[in-house]
A and B are shown apart, each in its own frame.
Chain A
Amino acid sequence: MFKLIGALMIVSCTGIMGMIKAREYAMRPRELRSMQSALQMLETEIIYGATPLPEALEYVAERCEKNISRLFRQVEQELIVSHGCTVKEAWDRALYLYAPPFFQKGDTSILSQLGNCLGMSDREDQSKHLHLAMEQLKLETTSAKEKAKSQVKLWNYMGFLAGLMIVTILY
């Protein structure tokens, strides 16, 4: 009896671990996509509205996904609170605190790169930089999607199968 309960626990544990891993793969393209649309919104605000950065960030934060909105709101707060800090400083601090959870290092560095030029040039130039970042994110998204396709199923099964394997060895 105990053996059976133990075996069930092992299987469910490894199964859940596998599912968590699979979720990571599944969520990354989604997050990348919503970051893209957030940047798109920011671009619209900057190019057509000529809205000052803090207000533009606030506007975007109100309209995008929770994980990303946290980042934008943090940048806005940093800009308002610290007197005269650069966008780069604010952006990097916010990325350190609230980087979207499923982003990988490469994804974050695209954003960090964007922080270098945000705000400090004319609209044409801003548009170019934002487009570059969006383009890079798009590439990441396609590769992340492909990875997700194979990996999600794999990890979903692998968790359970590994559990079953352990159980059969020990039983």
Chain B
Amino acid sequence: MQVDSYSQDIPGFAFKQVLSILPVNLGDIIKRLPEKYISNLEEIRLRQGRPLLLGFNNGDKYLTANGELVSEPNISYIITVEDIQRVTRLVSKSSLYALEEELKNGYITLPGGCRVGLTGKVVMDGEKVKTIKYISGLNIRISREVKGIAEKLLPYLLDKNKNVRHTLLLSPPRCGKTTLLRDLVRLLSTGMPAIKYSGTTVGLVDERSEIAGCYCGVPQKDVGTRTDVLDGCPKAQGMMMLLRAMGPNVLAADEIGKQEDVKVIEEVINAGVSLLFTVHGSTLEEITQRPALEYLFNLKVIERFVILGRSRGVGTIEDIKCGSTGKTLGGRICSS
């Protein structure tokens, strides 16, 4: 029943934000969907000359011009050049020049924290991507904020003195890793009265603007009262900046994997700051094979491994392992 637990937060605000960037004709089609579909909507995919596709948490469906969900592409609504151009204009407020940085990264964050991924013809400048022209594909991702999913997990990550242990969240893609990290950050920084945890200063390096969903530098998601966010900053540099400038007790970052990240992590741990970060992967053995992470594991500093999966729906915590003994501390905690 995790599926339903997700739907509580999404529809209202985030969905309205999405409608505001859709041209009237597309907006009308999508608005006709029954409420239960709208609340489970994860993605809207627009590809020029191809069918309109909606992604739900249990698979994707084509949409017809009458707002019916179908499985056959040939009767669905076909996205026109005009549609793509209109969405591009609405997303960019008719000012592509203002989005140069965003185009280089391939996505735009909207107020409200939703993200729009872009594809098209890439223009290079030497070795770097300069911009994308002839935008032909858009993926509107409705981001979700599920408050409270980390409540059961938090006690496992605190030691006797309520200090945060160095923690690694391990998860395959689309298993709710970012959502869980966001809620953990929120709980760590605001505190959790139920377990008499009063909260601490958290520094968050949000390289891909996914965790806090910043718009113009302001977090659009609730990341807690004591959280400082560096938006769009490379993790290694960002962690050092926060460490020096903002005096955090916990540093959080998404998707660690590069050699330089690991070097900084070593430094952060030596500075006495707790770490909270995620890694892409499905098992501990698998990620140990990556050179950078292998080095990190050999330092034996990480105290808790949290492994996510979808065995009981998105966001299932499959296992929590103790870093020093390798013992399982508790598993199969559902997200709800």
Contacts and interface: CB of A to CB of B under 8 A. Distances in A.
Interface in B60-95: 85-87, 89-90, 92-95
Given A84-B23, A84-B24, A84-B86, A122 B94 contact: no
Chain A interface size band reads 20 to 34
Contacts of A51: 95, 98
Contacts of B96: 119-122
A54 B98 contact: no
A53 interface: yes
7 contacts: A51-B98, A52-B94, A53-B93, A84-B87, A119-B95, A123-B97, A126-B97
Nearest to B97: A123
Contacts of A114: none
A79 interface: yes
Contact of B94 (A50, A87, A125): A87
Contacts of A137: none
A61 interface: no
- Binding site secondary structure of chain B: helix
B200 interface: no
Contacts of B93: 52-54, 79
A122 B95 contact: no
A83 B24 contact: yes
Contacts of B87: 84
B178 interface: no
B269 to A, nearest CB: 38
Given A83-B90, A119-B95, A50 B100 contact: yes
Given A84-B86, A122-B131, A50 B97 contact: yes
Contacts of B98: 50-53
Given A52-B93, A53-B95, 6 more contacts: A51-B95, A84-B87, A85-B89, A86-B85, A119-B96, A123-B97
Interface string A24-62: 000000000000000000000010001111101000000
